[in-house]
Amino acid sequence: MLRRPRRNRKSTAIRDMVEETRLSTKDFMYPLFLLEGKSKSIAVESMPGIHRLSVDLMLKEIDTCMNLGINAFDIFPVVDEKHKDKLATKSHNPNFFYLQALEEIKDKFPEACIMTDVAMDPYSTDGHDGIVDEYGNILNDESLEVLGAMALAQAETGADIIGPSDMMDGRVEYIREILDDNGFEDTSIMSYTAKYASAFYGPFRDALDSAPKSGDKKTYQMNPANLREAIIEAELDEEEGADFLMVKPALAYLDVIKLLRDNFDLPIAAYNVSGEYAMLKAAAQKGWLDNDTAMMEMLLSMKRAGAKVILTYFAKEAALLMK
C-alpha cells in the first residue's frame, strides 16, 4: 500500500497541522433578544441557555462576550402586543425603546459590530415581514417604504450593519439608496439572500412572540426544495449593493452556502437558527448527544461549507470552550 491516509491522522500534532478548517470567535455573530425596561431577564423556554435581556443586562452580556473575543452582535427587540400595529410604525419611531437601547449600546461599545434586523414581523399585528392587505396578500412595494424607514432609523442609532430579513423584492437597493441619501454610505447591508420558509424558526418566534397570525411566509421566503433560485437572489443582492450574502437556516442548507461561496466573492454568512440550536439542546439534555462536540462539529460544518460569518446562539458557549 503506497497511500495510507491514516498517517496524517496519527497524532494530535499532525492532525492539527493538516487541519483544513479552524473556527475563530471572530467568525461569530451573537444574536441577542432585547427587552423593554430595566433589570429584566426572561429565559426562552425553547432555547435553553438563552435569555431575553433588558438593555442594562445586555450591556453586561456584550462586555462578557467581547472579553471572550466575540465582537459582533445581532439585536432583536421583543415588542409588547400593545405596541404593534398594521404598519409596524414603532419599528421606526426614534423614541421607541429598541432604538434608544441601540444608541446606548453603540455609545458604550463603539468598537463592537452591531447588526439590526429589518422586517416588520416583531412590530406588526399580522406577524408578517411585510404589509398584509385585506385578502391576506403581502404587499411588496408598499412594504419597502416601511422597511426603508426602519433601516434608516436603525442606521441613525449607529448600527454598523443593517440586516434585511424580510425577503421583499428590491429591498436591498431601496435601503441602500435611502442610507446613501441620508449620509449613511458607510452603513453596511447584510442581506438575508437565501432565506427559506423553514420550520426551524419556531423557537425564535416564541422568543419574540412574532409568529404570523394567519397564513405562512411561503410567498416571500424561499422553497426549501430550491437551490438554483439562491443564485438569482444572490445576483440581485450583489447588484443591489449588499456587502454580505446570508444563507438561512444553515445546517440543512450547507449546499446553498457552498453554492454561493463558489459563485460569489462577497463574504457569505450562515444563520445557525433557533430550531437548530433547540434541536441540539434538547438531545443534549436527554443525554442523547454530547453538547460540546456536536456544537463544534455543527459550527465547523458551516465554515467548511464556505461561511465566513456564522450567526449563532452557540457563540458564547463555543467561545468559552475555545478559550
Active site residues: 195, 248
191 forms part of the interface with ligand PBG (CB under 6 A) = no
Cβ neighbours for 217, distance < 8 A, ≥ 6 positions apart: 128, 129, 167, 197
Report the residue number, 79 or 305, with the smaller CB distance to ligand PBG.
79
6, three cell numbers? 491514516
Q: Which stretch binds ligand PBG (CB under 6 A): 35-43, 90-98, 199-207, 256-264?
A: 199-207
For 224, the 3-state DSSP assignment is coil
> At closest approach, how far in Å is the CB of 113 from ligand PBG?
17
Report the residue number, 163 or 306, with the smaller CB distance to ligand PBG.
163
Report the residue number, 2 or 28, with the smaller CB distance to ligand PBG.
28
244 forms part of the interface with ligand PBG (CB under 6 A) = no
160 forms part of the interface with ligand PBG (CB under 6 A) = no
Compose the 245-274 pattern: x for residues touching ligand PBG by CB under 6 A, - for all others. ----------------------------xx
124 forms part of the interface with ligand PBG (CB under 6 A) = no
Are 305 and 266 in contact by the 8 Å Cβ rule? The answer is no
Are 94 and 180 in contact by the 8 Å Cβ rule? The answer is no
Q: How far is CA 41 from the centre of its chain?
A: 21
Q: Which of 46, 124, 143, 165 binds ligand PBG (CB under 6 A)?
A: 165
Are 128 and 218 in contact by the 8 Å Cβ rule? The answer is no
Which residue number is nearest to ligand PBG in terms of Cβ?
204
Strand partners, 275: none
121 forms part of the interface with ligand PBG (CB under 6 A) = yes
Contact residues for ligand PBG (CB under 6 A)? 117, 119, 121, 129, 165, 201, 204-205, 273-274
